[in-house]
Amino acid sequence: MLEILQVTFPFFALVLAGYVAARRRMLPLEAIAGLNTFVLFFALPCLLYRFGAGTPIAQLLDPSALAVYLPCALLMVAGTVWFSLNPRIRWNDAAFGALVAAFPNTGFMGVPLLVALLGPAAAGPAILTILIDLVITSSLCIALSRLDGADQHGASEAARKALRGVALNPMPWAIALGGLASASGLRLVQPVDATVGLLADAASPVALFTIGAVLARSQAVSAASEHGRLPAADFVPVAVAKLVAHPVLVWLVGRAAIAWGLPLDRFALTVMVLVAALPSASNVSLLAERFGADTGRIARIILLTTAAAFLTFSGAVALVR
Protein backbone atom coordinates (compact mmCIF):
# COMPACT_ATOMS: atom_id res chain seq x y z
CA MET A 1 0.00 0.00 0.00
CA LEU A 2 2.87 2.38 0.81
CA GLU A 3 4.28 1.79 -2.68
CA ILE A 4 0.92 2.79 -4.19
CA LEU A 5 0.64 5.91 -2.04
CA GLN A 6 4.12 6.95 -3.14
CA VAL A 7 2.79 7.07 -6.72
CA THR A 8 -0.62 8.61 -6.02
CA PHE A 9 0.47 11.19 -3.43
CA PRO A 10 2.12 13.66 -5.87
CA PHE A 11 -1.00 13.66 -8.08
CA PHE A 12 -3.34 14.55 -5.23
CA ALA A 13 -0.78 16.94 -3.72
CA LEU A 14 -0.85 18.99 -6.94
CA VAL A 15 -4.67 19.11 -6.75
CA LEU A 16 -4.39 20.37 -3.17
CA ALA A 17 -1.81 22.96 -4.23
CA GLY A 18 -4.17 24.33 -6.87
CA TYR A 19 -7.05 24.41 -4.39
CA VAL A 20 -5.01 26.29 -1.77
CA ALA A 21 -3.61 28.74 -4.34
CA ALA A 22 -7.09 29.66 -5.58
CA ARG A 23 -8.69 29.61 -2.13
CA ARG A 24 -6.08 32.01 -0.73
CA ARG A 25 -6.26 34.15 -3.91
CA MET A 26 -2.59 33.51 -4.69
CA LEU A 27 -4.07 32.56 -8.06
CA PRO A 28 -6.78 35.02 -9.10
CA LEU A 29 -10.09 33.30 -9.84
CA GLU A 30 -10.17 35.11 -13.18
CA ALA A 31 -6.94 33.32 -14.19
CA ILE A 32 -8.42 29.84 -13.76
CA ALA A 33 -10.23 30.03 -17.09
CA GLY A 34 -6.89 30.63 -18.78
CA LEU A 35 -5.34 27.60 -17.09
CA ASN A 36 -8.32 25.51 -18.10
CA THR A 37 -8.00 26.71 -21.71
CA PHE A 38 -4.32 25.82 -21.82
CA VAL A 39 -4.98 22.31 -20.51
CA LEU A 40 -8.10 21.60 -22.56
CA PHE A 41 -7.03 23.06 -25.93
CA PHE A 42 -3.24 22.66 -25.91
CA ALA A 43 -1.58 20.37 -23.36
CA LEU A 44 -4.14 17.60 -22.84
CA PRO A 45 -4.86 17.01 -26.57
CA CYS A 46 -1.11 16.59 -27.13
CA LEU A 47 -0.91 14.11 -24.25
CA LEU A 48 -3.87 12.11 -25.59
CA TYR A 49 -2.46 12.21 -29.12
CA ARG A 50 0.88 10.89 -27.91
CA PHE A 51 -0.72 8.05 -25.95
CA GLY A 52 -3.11 7.30 -28.81
CA ALA A 53 -0.31 7.19 -31.38
CA GLY A 54 1.69 4.85 -29.16
CA THR A 55 -1.21 2.48 -28.43
CA PRO A 56 -2.29 -0.36 -30.76
CA ILE A 57 -5.53 0.58 -32.49
CA ALA A 58 -7.20 -2.63 -31.24
CA GLN A 59 -6.89 -1.34 -27.66
CA LEU A 60 -8.34 2.06 -28.56
CA LEU A 61 -11.36 0.44 -30.28
CA ASP A 62 -11.90 -2.62 -28.07
CA PRO A 63 -15.57 -3.66 -28.50
CA SER A 64 -15.41 -5.91 -25.42
CA ALA A 65 -14.32 -3.02 -23.22
CA LEU A 66 -17.04 -0.86 -24.77
CA ALA A 67 -19.64 -3.57 -24.08
CA VAL A 68 -18.71 -3.54 -20.38
CA TYR A 69 -18.04 0.13 -19.62
CA LEU A 70 -20.95 1.73 -21.49
CA PRO A 71 -23.79 -0.24 -19.80
CA CYS A 72 -22.21 0.53 -16.41
CA ALA A 73 -22.16 4.25 -17.20
CA LEU A 74 -25.81 4.13 -18.27
CA LEU A 75 -26.77 2.19 -15.13
CA MET A 76 -24.98 4.76 -12.97
CA VAL A 77 -26.89 7.57 -14.67
CA ALA A 78 -30.25 5.83 -14.38
CA GLY A 79 -29.71 4.77 -10.76
CA THR A 80 -28.50 8.18 -9.61
CA VAL A 81 -31.36 10.01 -11.30
CA TRP A 82 -33.91 7.59 -9.83
CA PHE A 83 -32.40 7.95 -6.34
CA SER A 84 -32.01 11.74 -6.51
CA LEU A 85 -35.39 12.91 -7.84
CA ASN A 86 -37.53 14.45 -5.10
CA PRO A 87 -39.53 17.65 -4.54
CA ARG A 88 -36.29 19.64 -4.09
CA ILE A 89 -34.08 17.96 -6.72
CA ARG A 90 -35.71 17.96 -10.12
CA TRP A 91 -34.44 16.77 -13.50
CA ASN A 92 -31.80 19.47 -14.00
CA ASP A 93 -30.04 18.90 -10.68
CA ALA A 94 -30.59 15.13 -10.77
CA ALA A 95 -29.09 14.85 -14.26
CA PHE A 96 -25.91 16.71 -13.36
CA GLY A 97 -25.66 14.75 -10.12
CA ALA A 98 -25.84 11.62 -12.29
CA LEU A 99 -23.10 13.00 -14.52
CA VAL A 100 -20.68 13.46 -11.61
CA ALA A 101 -21.58 9.95 -10.42
CA ALA A 102 -20.80 8.38 -13.81
CA PHE A 103 -18.07 10.63 -15.29
CA PRO A 104 -14.60 10.10 -13.75
CA ASN A 105 -11.82 12.64 -14.02
CA THR A 106 -10.04 10.45 -16.58
CA GLY A 107 -8.67 13.15 -18.88
CA PHE A 108 -7.19 15.57 -16.36
CA MET A 109 -6.12 12.97 -13.77
CA GLY A 110 -6.77 9.37 -14.78
CA VAL A 111 -4.63 8.81 -17.88
CA PRO A 112 -1.31 10.06 -16.42
CA LEU A 113 -2.04 8.47 -13.02
CA LEU A 114 -2.92 5.06 -14.46
CA VAL A 115 0.07 5.10 -16.79
CA ALA A 116 2.30 5.88 -13.80
CA LEU A 117 0.76 2.98 -11.85
CA LEU A 118 0.27 0.33 -14.54
CA GLY A 119 2.48 1.34 -17.45
CA PRO A 120 1.79 2.71 -20.95
CA ALA A 121 -0.59 -0.16 -21.80
CA ALA A 122 -3.16 1.42 -19.45
CA ALA A 123 -3.63 4.36 -21.84
CA GLY A 124 -5.71 2.44 -24.41
CA PRO A 125 -8.63 1.33 -22.18
CA ALA A 126 -8.57 4.65 -20.30
CA ILE A 127 -8.80 6.67 -23.53
CA LEU A 128 -11.73 4.51 -24.69
CA THR A 129 -13.63 5.42 -21.51
CA ILE A 130 -12.99 9.11 -22.19
CA LEU A 131 -14.66 8.80 -25.59
CA ILE A 132 -17.67 7.00 -24.07
CA ASP A 133 -18.11 9.59 -21.32
CA LEU A 134 -17.60 12.60 -23.57
CA VAL A 135 -19.85 11.47 -26.41
CA ILE A 136 -22.57 9.39 -24.72
CA THR A 137 -22.70 9.92 -20.95
CA SER A 138 -22.39 13.72 -21.09
CA SER A 139 -24.85 14.09 -23.97
CA LEU A 140 -27.41 11.88 -22.24
CA CYS A 141 -27.21 13.78 -18.95
CA ILE A 142 -27.46 17.17 -20.65
CA ALA A 143 -30.54 15.94 -22.52
CA LEU A 144 -32.09 14.66 -19.27
CA SER A 145 -31.40 18.00 -17.58
CA ARG A 146 -33.76 19.72 -20.02
CA LEU A 147 -36.80 17.65 -18.95
CA ASP A 148 -37.75 20.20 -16.29
CA GLY A 149 -40.73 21.90 -17.89
CA ALA A 150 -39.24 21.53 -21.36
CA ASP A 151 -41.38 21.22 -24.44
CA GLN A 152 -41.27 18.03 -26.48
CA HIS A 153 -38.21 19.23 -28.34
CA GLY A 154 -36.28 20.37 -25.25
CA ALA A 155 -34.35 17.19 -24.54
CA SER A 156 -33.58 16.45 -28.20
CA GLU A 157 -32.37 20.01 -28.77
CA ALA A 158 -30.18 19.75 -25.66
CA ALA A 159 -28.74 16.48 -26.95
CA ARG A 160 -27.93 18.11 -30.30
CA LYS A 161 -26.20 21.01 -28.52
CA ALA A 162 -24.26 18.53 -26.40
CA LEU A 163 -23.08 16.68 -29.49
CA ARG A 164 -22.05 19.97 -31.07
CA GLY A 165 -20.06 20.65 -27.91
CA VAL A 166 -18.37 17.28 -28.29
CA ALA A 167 -17.51 18.14 -31.89
CA LEU A 168 -15.81 21.34 -30.70
CA ASN A 169 -13.96 19.57 -27.89
CA PRO A 170 -10.37 18.94 -28.95
CA MET A 171 -9.94 15.78 -26.86
CA PRO A 172 -11.93 13.37 -29.11
CA TRP A 173 -10.15 14.79 -32.17
CA ALA A 174 -6.75 14.32 -30.53
CA ILE A 175 -7.66 10.73 -29.69
CA ALA A 176 -8.89 10.13 -33.25
CA LEU A 177 -5.71 11.59 -34.77
CA GLY A 178 -3.58 9.52 -32.39
CA GLY A 179 -5.51 6.40 -33.38
CA LEU A 180 -5.03 7.23 -37.05
CA ALA A 181 -1.30 7.63 -36.50
CA SER A 182 -1.22 4.31 -34.64
CA ALA A 183 -3.11 2.49 -37.40
CA SER A 184 -1.11 4.00 -40.27
CA GLY A 185 2.31 4.09 -38.67
CA LEU A 186 2.72 7.75 -39.60
CA ARG A 187 4.92 9.91 -37.38
CA LEU A 188 5.15 13.66 -37.00
CA VAL A 189 8.22 15.43 -38.31
CA GLN A 190 10.80 15.95 -35.57
CA PRO A 191 10.24 19.67 -34.78
CA VAL A 192 6.45 19.20 -34.57
CA ASP A 193 6.87 16.01 -32.54
CA ALA A 194 9.14 17.84 -30.10
CA THR A 195 6.57 20.63 -29.72
CA VAL A 196 3.80 18.12 -29.07
CA GLY A 197 6.06 16.40 -26.54
CA LEU A 198 6.69 19.64 -24.62
CA LEU A 199 2.97 20.38 -24.39
CA ALA A 200 2.20 16.76 -23.45
CA ASP A 201 4.76 16.86 -20.65
CA ALA A 202 3.07 19.99 -19.25
CA ALA A 203 -0.41 18.46 -19.32
CA SER A 204 -0.33 16.36 -16.16
CA PRO A 205 1.01 18.88 -13.59
CA VAL A 206 -0.96 21.83 -14.97
CA ALA A 207 -4.16 19.77 -15.26
CA LEU A 208 -3.90 18.53 -11.67
CA PHE A 209 -3.20 22.06 -10.38
CA THR A 210 -6.17 23.30 -12.43
CA ILE A 211 -8.49 20.67 -10.92
CA GLY A 212 -7.82 22.10 -7.46
CA ALA A 213 -8.25 25.68 -8.66
CA VAL A 214 -11.55 24.83 -10.40
CA LEU A 215 -12.82 23.17 -7.21
CA ALA A 216 -11.95 26.26 -5.16
CA ARG A 217 -13.62 28.51 -7.72
CA SER A 218 -16.76 26.36 -7.82
CA GLN A 219 -16.94 26.38 -4.05
CA ALA A 220 -16.62 30.18 -3.97
CA VAL A 221 -19.29 30.67 -6.64
CA SER A 222 -21.72 28.27 -4.97
CA ALA A 223 -21.18 29.85 -1.54
CA ALA A 224 -22.06 33.26 -2.96
CA SER A 225 -25.31 32.02 -4.51
CA GLU A 226 -26.42 29.37 -2.02
CA HIS A 227 -29.63 29.76 -0.03
CA GLY A 228 -29.74 27.75 3.19
CA ARG A 229 -27.75 24.72 4.27
CA LEU A 230 -27.46 21.87 1.77
CA PRO A 231 -28.52 18.57 3.38
CA ALA A 232 -25.79 15.92 3.40
CA ALA A 233 -28.31 13.47 1.90
CA ASP A 234 -28.28 15.56 -1.29
CA PHE A 235 -24.60 15.00 -2.06
CA VAL A 236 -22.93 12.39 0.17
CA PRO A 237 -24.74 9.35 -1.34
CA VAL A 238 -23.78 10.46 -4.86
CA ALA A 239 -20.13 10.78 -3.81
CA VAL A 240 -20.23 7.30 -2.26
CA ALA A 241 -21.84 5.93 -5.44
CA LYS A 242 -19.02 7.45 -7.52
CA LEU A 243 -16.17 6.11 -5.43
CA VAL A 244 -17.64 2.74 -4.41
CA ALA A 245 -20.67 1.68 -6.46
CA HIS A 246 -19.21 2.65 -9.85
CA PRO A 247 -15.96 0.62 -9.64
CA VAL A 248 -17.76 -2.32 -8.01
CA LEU A 249 -20.36 -2.29 -10.79
CA VAL A 250 -17.68 -2.24 -13.52
CA TRP A 251 -15.84 -5.10 -11.80
CA LEU A 252 -19.00 -7.22 -11.43
CA VAL A 253 -20.17 -6.63 -14.99
CA GLY A 254 -16.67 -7.26 -16.35
CA ARG A 255 -16.22 -10.49 -14.42
CA ALA A 256 -19.66 -11.69 -15.51
CA ALA A 257 -18.87 -10.82 -19.13
CA ILE A 258 -15.63 -12.80 -19.01
CA ALA A 259 -17.42 -15.76 -17.41
CA TRP A 260 -19.99 -15.66 -20.24
CA GLY A 261 -17.26 -15.82 -22.85
CA LEU A 262 -16.69 -12.16 -23.79
CA PRO A 263 -13.06 -11.82 -24.96
CA LEU A 264 -12.27 -9.02 -22.52
CA ASP A 265 -8.64 -8.72 -21.49
CA ARG A 266 -8.30 -8.85 -17.69
CA PHE A 267 -5.79 -6.01 -17.75
CA ALA A 268 -8.31 -3.83 -19.62
CA LEU A 269 -10.91 -4.68 -16.97
CA THR A 270 -8.47 -3.65 -14.23
CA VAL A 271 -7.89 -0.31 -15.95
CA MET A 272 -11.64 0.32 -16.35
CA VAL A 273 -12.29 -0.53 -12.69
CA LEU A 274 -9.63 1.98 -11.64
CA VAL A 275 -11.04 4.56 -14.06
CA ALA A 276 -14.42 4.13 -12.36
CA ALA A 277 -12.72 4.54 -8.96
CA LEU A 278 -11.40 7.99 -9.90
CA PRO A 279 -13.06 11.11 -8.45
CA SER A 280 -15.72 12.97 -10.41
CA ALA A 281 -14.72 15.08 -13.40
CA SER A 282 -14.08 18.64 -12.22
CA ASN A 283 -15.38 20.28 -15.41
CA VAL A 284 -18.92 19.07 -14.66
CA SER A 285 -19.21 22.02 -12.27
CA LEU A 286 -18.67 24.36 -15.22
CA LEU A 287 -21.38 22.55 -17.21
CA ALA A 288 -23.76 22.70 -14.24
CA GLU A 289 -23.19 26.43 -13.92
CA ARG A 290 -23.81 26.92 -17.62
CA PHE A 291 -27.11 25.00 -17.56
CA GLY A 292 -28.40 26.55 -14.33
CA ALA A 293 -28.10 23.51 -12.08
CA ASP A 294 -27.27 23.65 -8.37
CA THR A 295 -23.53 24.30 -8.58
CA GLY A 296 -23.20 24.12 -4.79
CA ARG A 297 -24.36 20.50 -4.77
CA ILE A 298 -22.20 19.53 -7.74
CA ALA A 299 -19.13 21.28 -6.29
CA ARG A 300 -19.57 19.45 -2.98
CA ILE A 301 -19.79 16.07 -4.72
CA ILE A 302 -16.66 16.75 -6.79
CA LEU A 303 -14.74 18.13 -3.80
CA LEU A 304 -15.75 15.19 -1.58
CA THR A 305 -14.85 12.57 -4.17
CA THR A 306 -11.52 14.25 -4.93
CA ALA A 307 -10.55 14.45 -1.25
CA ALA A 308 -11.70 10.93 -0.39
CA ALA A 309 -10.20 9.37 -3.53
CA PHE A 310 -6.70 9.77 -2.14
CA LEU A 311 -7.53 6.82 0.12
CA THR A 312 -10.32 5.05 -1.78
CA PHE A 313 -8.52 5.06 -5.12
CA SER A 314 -5.29 3.83 -3.53
CA GLY A 315 -7.31 1.10 -1.84
CA ALA A 316 -8.88 0.12 -5.16
CA VAL A 317 -5.42 -0.14 -6.74
CA ALA A 318 -4.27 -2.42 -3.92
CA LEU A 319 -7.32 -4.65 -4.38
CA VAL A 320 -7.33 -5.09 -8.16
CA ARG A 321 -3.74 -4.63 -9.33
In the chain, domain spans? 2-320
* pLDDT tier for residue 215 given thresholds of 50, 70 and 90: confident
Q: What is the mean pLDDT of the chain?
A: 88
pLDDT at 158: 63
Q: What pLDDT score was predicted for residue 268? A: 95
Residue 99 confidence (pLDDT) above 70: yes
- CATH code of the domain occupying 2-320: 1.20.1530.20
Strand-pairing partners, residue 104, are 280
Per-residue pLDDT for 3 more than 90? no
Tell if the pTM clears 0.75, that is, is over it: yes
Question: pLDDT higher for 15 or 234?
Answer: 15
Q: How confident is the model at residue 171 (pLDDT cuts 50, 70, 90)?
A: confident
Say yes or no to pLDDT of 279 above 90.
Answer: yes
Distant-in-sequence, close-in-space partners of 53: CB < 8 Å, separation ≥ 6:
177, 178, 179, 181, 182, 187
Whether the pLDDT of residue 53 is over 60: the answer is yes
Helices 111-118 and 44-53, interaxial angle, to 10°? 40
- Between 319 and 232, residue with greater pLDDT: 319
pLDDT reported for residue 113:
94
Of 34-43, 96-105, 224-233, give the range with the top mean pLDDT: 96-105
195-202 LR contacts (CB < 8 Å, sep 24+):
196/46, 196/49, 196/50, 197/46, 197/50, 199/42, 199/43, 199/46, 199/47, 200/43, 200/46, 200/47, 200/49, 200/50, 202/43
